[in-house]
Amino acid sequence: MNAGLGRAGPPRVAAIGCGHWGRNLVRNFHALGALAAVCDEAETSAREMARDHAVPLLGFDAILDDPAITAVALATPAATHAVLALRALAAGKHVFVEKPLALDVSSAMQVAEAAAARGRVLMVGHLLQYHPAFLKLRDFVHAGALGRLRFIQSARLSLGRIRREEDVFWSFAPHDISMILALTGELPDRVEAIGHCCLHNRIADVATAHLRFPGGVSASVFVSWLHPAKEQKLVVVGENGMAVFDDGQPWTHKLLHYPHRIEWQGGLPTPTRADAQPVPLLPDEPLRQECRHFLSCIRDGAQPRTDAREGIGVLRVLDAARRAMASGAPASLDPAPPPRYFAHETAWVDAGCEIGDGTRIWHFSHVLKGSRIGPGCVIGQNVVIGPDVHVGPGCKIQNNVSLYCGVSLDGAVFCGPSCVFTNVANPRAEIERKSEFRPTPVGFGATIGANATVICGHSLGRYCLVGAGAVVTRDVPAHALVVGNPARRVGWVSRAGHRLTEALTCPETRERYAPDGQGGLAWLEEARNVA
């Protein structure tokens, strides 16, 4: 994925929609120094927000035409999400879209395909995946602290915010489904759902769904906008304990661990109770973390935690629940969509590989088993990748390059024609040394020139540039320019690929750089943001 910022500077975001939720996005992007403009059909309130945050009020077309605006954040009615996202992507903008990504899987796939084809960041606003309590709970579960998962129950209840473009399940449940999928790590194979239409004969105001997962986990989701009290609670039950994420509680008790156990005594299950243990959390606004993550993904060309694939997975569950409500019978998820990448008829991709959306694999190339290639990559002719090699988003690998086991490319790496990676320091044809492969990590945005050689066991830092024909025999710091045999540093380069001046300034973008404390450089604004 091409972040598109080497020449354009830091991300600048236009907030589309300044209503109930959009005003929160405006506030947070402004606080992060990224707000460029606001847009809303209700010009009176939008004009006030523009004045309060010292940004212009622009029409959507004007925002798309402005090259200084690199991204849009959509907080408009759900029915408009897909159309507006497609227009923004066609204009080359990165897109943050509030949930749901679209109102049907087909439209969401079109948006995802457009983002991959343009190399733009597409992020879905599944807010609770950025909540400190849920992040701690997710790590807790994945570390095995609760043992094998058995059951998950969520409730999202309140009075009000009644909608007419989508029912309560599509409005409320995406957050809960997103969290449940993140905890289970898989999609359900069976969905049952019942909806109750109290205020409208076709739009459910109260709904319950039951999900069954191939790994044996079951989950239930209860949502209502006709409830007397507000409740936002997630209960996770495992073999060795339980946990409750209750967002209605103060920070000291938002996440509780219950080390209850079920013991078998005399052939009967007997519960052994234990006191609840509050899990320490660092309070932070989830939306601020979500907005910060979006900006970081644009800067680094990284895949968002709640990317298009995650958003489409949630939509597939919502779609199955909708069909189950309509038929009164359990529903399965529709088959997964076909691959959205291109492989030439002479190329070969082994079973078990993951290829990202929009990636192109050209003549006579071979991707071996266990390899993962991110979206938006270009794999040239006669390229061999794998086995078990990771290639990040937006990489460009030119002709006649082999990436062997142990090599990993972060996003937006450029590998010039016939550059060479090794994975064993002292190879012999008659001696098996597969157990001695050495890792060779290549950082984000690095460039490796034609016919260069990278000796295994060394790392290449972010945005470094290895000159054509150079032989890398030691670690290369971030932003270093190295040439020769053995490769030695002769200068520094910017994110845009230009040699820095003595003042460590890019002559084109005027970005300034400073030592990163690890022998390399960092973009000065990025260093401030990290600090």
Helix, strand or coil, per DSSP, at residue 148: coil
pLDDT at 78: 85
- Tokens at residue 313, please? 């997975």
Amino acid letter, 212:
R
331 forms bridges with which residues in the sheet?
191
Spatial separation of the C-alpha atoms in residues 150 and 87, rounded to whole Å: 43
pLDDT at 357: 79
Find out whether 174 and 314 touch, Cβ atoms under 8 Å: yes
Find out whether 374 and 411 touch, Cβ atoms under 8 Å: yes
DSSP 45-76: HHHHHHHHTT--B--HHHHHH-TT--EEEE-S
Helix, strand or coil, per DSSP, at residue 408: strand
pLDDT at 352: 75
* Residue ranges covered by each domain of the chain: 1-120, 129-286
Spell out the per-residue pLDDT of the chain, length 531, in tens: 444 443 345 789 999 998 888 999 999 999 999 999 999 987 777 888 899 999 999 999 999 999 899 999 999 988 899 999 999 998 999 999 999 999 888 889 889 888 887 788 999 999 999 999 999 999 989 888 888 899 999 999 888 776 766 788 888 899 999 999 999 989 999 999 998 888 877 788 899 999 999 989 999 999 998 888 889 999 999 988 899 999 999 999 999 998 877 777 777 777 777 788 899 999 999 999 999 999 999 988 788 999 998 999 999 999 999 999 889 999 998 876 665 788 888 999 987 788 887 899 999 999 998 898 988 899 999 999 999 899 988 899 999 999 999 999 988 899 999 999 998 888 888 888 877 889 999 999 999 999 999 999 999 999 999 999 999 999 999 999 999 999 999 999 998 899 999 999 999 888 899 998 899 998 875 444 333
> What stretch of H or E contains 22?
helix 22-31
- Tokens at residue 253, please? 């008790």
Find out whether 479 and 513 touch, Cβ atoms under 8 Å: yes
Find out whether 472 and 482 touch, Cβ atoms under 8 Å: yes
Helix, strand or coil, per DSSP, at residue 344: coil
Spatial separation of the C-alpha atoms in residues 91 and 187, rounded to whole Å: 33
Find out whether 157 and 227 touch, Cβ atoms under 8 Å: yes
Give, as one character, the DSSP assignment of residue 362: -
- Tokens at residue 403, please? 């990436």
Fold that domain 129-286 belongs to in CATH: Dihydrodipicolinate Reductase; domain 2 (3.30.360)
pLDDT at 527: 42
Amino acid letter, 125:
G
pLDDT at 528: 41
**Residues making up the chain, counted from first to last:** 531
Q: What is the pTM of this model?
A: 0.65
Residue in this structure with the two tokens 């991204």, named with its chain if needed: 71
What CA–CA distances, in Å, run from 251 to 64, 98, 140, 183, 230?
40, 25, 17, 21, 17
What is the CATH superfamily name and number for domain 1-120?
A: NAD(P)-binding Rossmann-like Domain (3.40.50.720)
